[in-house]
Structure formats: structure tokens, C-alpha cells
Amino acid sequence: MNILKKLQEKSKSFTLLYVEDNKELRESTLLFLKKLFKNIDSAKDGKEGLEKYKSNAYDIVLTDIQMPKMDGLELLEAIKKIDPDKQTIILSAFDNKEYLLKAIEIKVDHYLTKPIDINLMAATLLSSIETLELRAEIEQQREIIIHQSRTSAMSDMLLYISHHWRQPLNTIALSTQSLSFIYELGELNQKYLNEHIATNMEMIKNLSSSLDQFRSFFVPSPHKSFNPFIAINEVVALLIDTFENDAIDISYSKNKMDAMEIYGDVNEFKQVILSILNNSKDAIDHLKKENKIDRGKINFIFKCNDKSIDIHIEDNGGGIAPEILHRVFDPFFTTHNIAHKKGLGLYIANMIISKKLNGTITLNNEEKGLRVAITLSLLSTPPCKLAHQ
């Protein structure tokens, strides 16, 4: 298919910003570009271009270099800082070494020289669009993998929840049956009944809220900001009873974290925490079976930096053998032989933290076990505060 036709077919759903200070050239090029792009804007210098970009986040930015107020390279540098994945094209009368080197340094995607060659420009725009399409496809695949893997992390959680539920259910069952005894003994009065109803209702409310929490993992949450400390607490609240029953203590270095906002999907973050806790439990259970430890310990440590926070999760499960440490982030790497443990936990955790939450996750063997260190950029300034409750 002819390049122009192909471009015309694909370009309709993409947005473009064209920045050029020469009025005649800008208007004549716009005439051509408007035949391709439905959503297109133009600007007469880099400064105006950047302002427009900030409110519209165009998919492709096509710009001249030499312009008043802010030149094209400065403009693209600023845009790449905001959105490194957008497509940027230079269209310049100059191809001197200095400009080219600067363009490479700021990772400009294409460099075209004037006078404009329509065919070359069309081929370049098509290549940019195809890159954007490919990226969107990868993004979509990533979403699918993350979502599917959640069910695996959830199977562990379902086991925990069923433990968590058994005890209050037993208590409610026992106290319900005991009513007829109390009645036969002639001791059933209003006071007893009220107390009975109050305690049972409290337990029922707790069960219902843990069910809601559990369910909320599956409901897609819109991307927004969240407080990681609260998110961690919500995950831990669901697991803590079962972990304690299995002689694993979960503790926090600090009790409360204020004014701390991270941008992203809270359920994805919770999935990461759940996978890390599952892994610590696996390692601890293993050491306990071998009688190497009596009690498991998992400790959360929070640290505030200027623009980021560190979350460390340490356990006493013995850590990871140094010879496999570099492989545990690989997909399908596992040392377990259990159907639903497929070696995806850390792979997905790394994907979520680095690609979705713009942070880092590293693993280190400490004296007694593994330390998972997560660093996340904060949305909010002033920086977060740590406080004892």
C-alpha cells in the first residue's frame, strides 16, 4: 500500500503538535498535515509549543530548531522529561554536528532536514505512529499479564481468608447453638440477648468488611493517587490473623505515615505487597518445617526522603541462595513445586513497581533472611512525615 494512504488510515486517531516560527511555511505544512491528522495544533515557538503540550500531551511533536523564546531542541528536551515515550521529530534547515549530537543526547526519535520532502515526512510520521501502536500493544499485554497473575497471588490469599474466617464462624455457630441451652436453663434475659447480638454483629461486620477488602482487589481501580502506608495496612489486616496462627509476626518500624501520596493503581501496589508477603511466608514455613526457626518475623520499615519513600520488607526466612539471586525476577523462575506458584510473583512485582509506579525494587540477603527494598517517587511535596501513633 502507498505510504500516504497507509498513513492516512492510521493517523486519524493520533494527535500532533507542529511547531514552526516561519508563518508561511507553518501554514503551508499545516494544510498538508491537516489532511492526515484530525487533532492537530500548531505553535509559533518552543515556549508556546510547551504550553500547548502541557495541556494536551500530543502523541507526536514535530518541530523546527531555531525559533525565538525557546528553540526546538529545548522544547523536545522538556517534553521528553514529561513523557519519554512520546514521538518527537525535528524538522530543521540545519544538520550541523552540534544539533545532531544534542538531538541524540535528548533521544529525539527522527531528524528531517528542510526543504521538506513530503514522501520522507510521510514515511517518518508512519514510522512514529507504528512505534506508538506497538507501545500501546505492549502496554495492553502488560495490563493483561498483571491482571491474570493477580489470580495466582489471590489463591494464596483465599487460603488465608478461609483460615481468617473459620474462627469467627465457629464462634458465631457455637454462641447461636448455646442460646437454646441458656433458654432451657431459664437464664435468657434481655441483657444476655443484647450482649449476644452485639458480639455476633461485631464479628459479622468484620467478616463482611474483610470480604469487601478481598473483593476490592478484583475491581479495577482507576489510576489515582494513594497512600502506600494505608494500602500496606489493608493487605496486612487481611493476613495478620492467619500469619499469627502460623507463628509469623508482622511488625512496623513506625506506626503511621502522613502526607504521602504516590500516583498509580492501588490494587497493583497491593498485589506487589501480597506477593512479597506470600514469598516471605513460603520461605519461613520452609525453615520452620526444618526446625531452623520457631517463629517467623516480617518487618516493614519506612523511610522518607526528599521526593521519595523507601519501604523495606525484611523477613527471617533465610534469604535466597546467592547463585539464584540474579534470576528471581525472571518470569517463571521458581524453586517451588506447587501448581499455582509459577514463578511470576517477583517478575510482576518488578513490572508494576518499575513500569507502572516509576519506582525501583531490589533484593538483598541480610543476616536472617531477605530484604526487599522498594523506592517510590512521591507526588506530594512537602515530603512525607513519619509519626508514632
Ligand X SMILES: Nc1ncnc2c1ncn2[C@@H]1O[C@H](COP(=O)(O)OP(=O)(O)O)[C@@H](O)[C@H]1O
Angle CA 16–18–23, to nearest 5 = 150
Most distant CA atoms of the chain, gap in Å: 102
Residue 331, preceding bond cis, omega within 30 degrees?
no
C-beta of residue 114 within 8 angstroms of C-beta of residue 92: yes
Judged by CB under 6 A, which stretch of 34-42, 103-111, 221-229, 278-286 contacts ligand X?
Answer: 278-286
Judged by CB under 6 A, which stretch of 41-49, 51-59, 157-165, 277-285 contacts ligand X?
Answer: 277-285
The residue at minimum Cβ distance from Mg ion is 345
Among ligand X, Mg ion, none, the one that 315 touches (CB under a kind-dependent 5 to 8 A) is ligand X
Identify residues 298-357 at the interface with ligand X (CB under 6 A): 315, 317, 319-320, 328, 333-336, 341-347
Q: Which is nearer to ligand X, 331 or 383 (CB)?
A: 331
- Closest approach of ligand X to the CB of residue 75, in Å: 42
Q: Is 88 in the site for ligand X (CB under 6 A)?
A: no
Q: Which is nearer to Mg ion, 36 or 161 (CB)?
A: 161
Three cell numbers written together for 56: 494536551
Q: Which is nearer to ligand X, 343 or 383 (CB)?
A: 343
Q: Residue 312: phi, psi to the nearest 5?
A: -110, 135
| DSSP for residue 111 | E
- Closest approach of Mg ion to the CB of residue 300, in Å: 18
Among ligand X, Mg ion, none, the one that 326 touches (CB under a kind-dependent 5 to 8 A) is none
Q: How far is CA 284 from the centre of its chain?
A: 27
Q: Give the CA distances from residue 330 to residues 12, 324, 351, 355, in Å, rounded to whole numbers and listed in that order.
A: 38, 10, 11, 15
- Closest approach of Mg ion to the CB of residue 334, in Å: 7
Burial profile 2-12: b = 16 or more Cβ within 10 angstroms, e = fewer? eebeebeebbe
Mention every residue, 6+ apart, whose C-beta is less than 8 A from residue 134. none
Which among 239, 376, 229 has a CA at the least distance from the CA of 300? 229
Which among 235, 56, 234, 244 has a CA at the least distance from the CA of 154? 235
Q: Residue 90: phi, psi to the nearest 5?
A: -95, 140
Residues touching ligand X: how many (CB under 6 A)? Answer: 21
Q: Which is nearer to ligand X, 238 or 284 (CB)?
A: 284
Q: Is 365 in the site for ligand X (CB under 6 A)?
A: no
Q: Which is nearer to Mg ion, 128 or 279 (CB)?
A: 279
- Closest approach of ligand X to the CB of residue 365, in Å: 9
- Closest approach of ligand X to the CB of residue 335, in Å: 3
Tell me if residue 352 falls in helix, strand or coil: helix
- Closest approach of ligand X to the CB of residue 133, in Å: 31
Q: Which is nearer to Mg ion, 46 or 345 (CB)?
A: 345
Q: Give the CA distances from residue 354 to residues 107, 247, 272, 359, in Å, rounded to whole numbers and listed in that order.
A: 20, 33, 11, 5
Q: Which is nearer to ligand X, 228 or 345 (CB)?
A: 345
- Closest approach of Mg ion to the CB of residue 58, in Å: 40
Binding site for Mg ion (CB under 5 A): 279, 345
Q: Which is nearer to ligand X, 89 or 313 (CB)?
A: 313
Among ligand X, Mg ion, none, the one that 267 touches (CB under a kind-dependent 5 to 8 A) is none
* Cell 500496606 sits on residue: 232
Among Mg ion, ligand X, none, the one that 319 touches (CB under a kind-dependent 5 to 8 A) is ligand X
Binding footprint of ligand X on the chain (CB under 6 A): 275, 279-280, 283, 315, 317, 319-320, 328, 333-336, 341-347, 370
